[in-house]
A and B are shown apart, each in its own frame.
Chain A
């Protein structure tokens, strides 16, 4: 498979502070990548820079080999979709309207709505299982439903690449599994390429093909979950004393923190 999205010697920062420091990353088409790391390590910043929301201080982000900040933003939006952390919608907007706005990059002032758009919206709603909520307003949905609505919008955008910034935040465990199962389905049945920031290491291990562990704006380890999620890495990256055992269901690594109460 080919490399779809690439960071090359990428530096990104806010003001004086450099948050992503000379980072190299290649995202291969058709894979699910999870970015993990302690709070403030630069994982959300990396994701924003990959989605051209933040400019590169130096280095570059390449989308299909082309420098992303030199491409028209609308053209990028037809290939790459992104879902920010805790996005906000105007009051009173219905789910159907929200999802329809995902079609924006495919529309223009002379062609504002087409049957393609209609079909894409219907498909996106069906895929996330919220077709029956289409006429409800976004503010009256539960957390899990709302996240599905936003993911539907990203799906309606019809992009091969999806960047998700902590798609499971504020969701209970059942809804987290729900959302990640959906991501898995996008990947396996539709061949989408997904890069997501995740906090839960065990879920990252179960759902990602590739794990990228970051600390202080740099990548410390990357590769298959079994290779990256080791006791040594956890101590090094998170400063966490933990055992790693085999997940009895999936066979992927399962992180079990020790904590002071059980330290011998």
Chain B
């Protein structure tokens, strides 16, 4: 309980800091005052229309990605397992980029259509790729290593298809698509917050409840079944929850690289446990994306996509993981 309280205070603090910083700097007192309904009209506008929805989108997307990665890594028992590598995020990329390029050249993606069609297409693409990997990896049960290999294959196919779409689309659409597939929180408003928030309200409790079997699922199948776990049912259920979480998050902000990969391992080291903590990964993921976005929008004179920052941080980490897992071939 104390840990949960500390985590929530930390989240709130990072949220306030994130809202304070920008072209119109605010003090912590001003931010809190405004959030509670006070403040000038300018403060109200900056906080509730510009910065709060963007920060919340970052928080929720990061939380969803962190939780998704934690579930994948606990089940597959491999720190390389994450929706980035298992094809989910690139599947979402295909969906979204298809809408941007095809619908764009037909001249129908404007305003409302874009803001609804894009996330929906991303969601559909992510779900399709995730479920495809899952179905192809199924052979009287799901085995982690097979799932990682098939995921890498699907990721390659989806990545190349996305590149193809970028080539055939016109330059302006391709430009917008590039920003989307980098993962960005630019211009995120309440319409982006709501779907992710709804998904998290349902899925976080489902994951935490379903997650009580994760501890008993960490052994070989025989041991787990001996402990009374219905291994295939439990594993399938949790994997599908993780696929949906990653797809919803990607639909809202694009595939923000490496968050789902690194978050569970950071949370695991902070918590000192043998498996990634689920709630801890929600918190760490949220903090990670908010802080990365803070860096992305303030480090340079134009706002960079948050995915640039997470990629710069995440790429060396992935290399470290690969080098380490080559040295000790066990997972």
Contacts and interface: CB of A to CB of B under 8 A. Distances in A.
Contacts of B111: none
A78 B228 contact: yes
B228 A92 contact: no
Interface string A63-81: 0000000000111111001
A77 B222 contact: no
A93 interface: yes
Contact of B77 (A53, A90, A112): A90
B17 to A, nearest CB: 33
Contacts of A92: 274
Nearest to B275: A90
A87 B228 contact: no
Interface in A171-194: none
Interface stretch (A98-106, A118-126, A219-227): A98-106
B212 A76 contact: no
A89 B219 contact: yes
B279 to A, nearest CB: 12
B275 A84 contact: no
Nearest to A108: B212
A137 B272 CA distance: 12
Interface in B190-240: 209-210, 212-213, 215-216, 218-220, 222-223, 225-230
A73 B228 contact: yes
Interface class of chain B by DSSP: loop
A97 B215 CA distance: 9
A93 B274 contact: yes
Contact of B227 (A75, A77, A91, A109): A77
A109 B229 contact: no
Given A90-B77, A109-B212, A157 B218 contact: no
Contacts of A51: 226
A88 interface: yes
Contacts of B77: 90
Contacts of A76: 228
Interface residues of B, number: 23
A48 interface: yes
B218 A90 contact: yes
B212 A107 contact: yes
A82 interface: yes
A33 interface: no
A94 interface: yes
Contact of A104 (B210, B216, B273, B331): B216
Nearest to B222: A84
B212 A112 contact: yes
A73 B229 contact: yes
Contacts, number: 73
A81 B222 CA distance: 11
A93 B215 CA distance: 10
Contact of B220 (A81, A84, A107): A84
A76 B230 CA distance: 12
A87 B223 CA distance: 7
Nearest to A51: B226
Nearest to B223: A87
A105 B330 CA distance: 29
A101 B274 contact: no
A226 B331 CA distance: 47
A91 B274 contact: yes
A87 B274 contact: no
Nearest to B213: A104
Contacts of A73: 225, 228-230
A101 B213 CA distance: 10
Nearest to B205: A109
Contacts of B228: 73-78, 104-105
Nearest to A77: B228
A53 B219 contact: no
Contacts of A105: 227-228
Given A91-B330, A109-B209, A84 B215 contact: no
Nearest to A157: B227
Nearest to B233: A73
Given A94-B274, A104-B215, A107-B212, A48 B222 contact: yes
Contacts of B218: 89-90, 93, 101
B226 A53 contact: yes
B227 A88 contact: no
A245 B194 CA distance: 80
Nearest to B268: A92
Nearest to B220: A88
A143 to B, nearest CB: 17
Nearest to A109: B209
Instruction: Report which residue of B212, B216, B228, B274 has the largest number of chain A beta carbons within 10 angstroms of its beta carbon.
Output: B228
Given A77-B226, A104-B227, A157-B227, 5 more contacts: A53-B226, A87-B220, A93-B274, A101-B216, A104-B229
22 contacts: A48-B222, A51-B226, A53-B226, A73-B228, A73-B230, A74-B228, A76-B228, A81-B226, A82-B226, A84-B226, A88-B220, A91-B274, A97-B273, A97-B274, A101-B227, A102-B227, A104-B213, A104-B227, A104-B228, A105-B227, A112-B212, A137-B274
A-B interface, 9 closest residue pairs, ranked by CB to CB distance from nearest: A77-B228, A74-B228, A105-B228, A104-B216, A93-B274, A109-B209, A84-B222, A82-B226, A92-B274
Interface of A: 48, 51-53, 73-78, 81-84, 87-94, 97, 100-102, 104-105, 107-109, 112, 137, 157
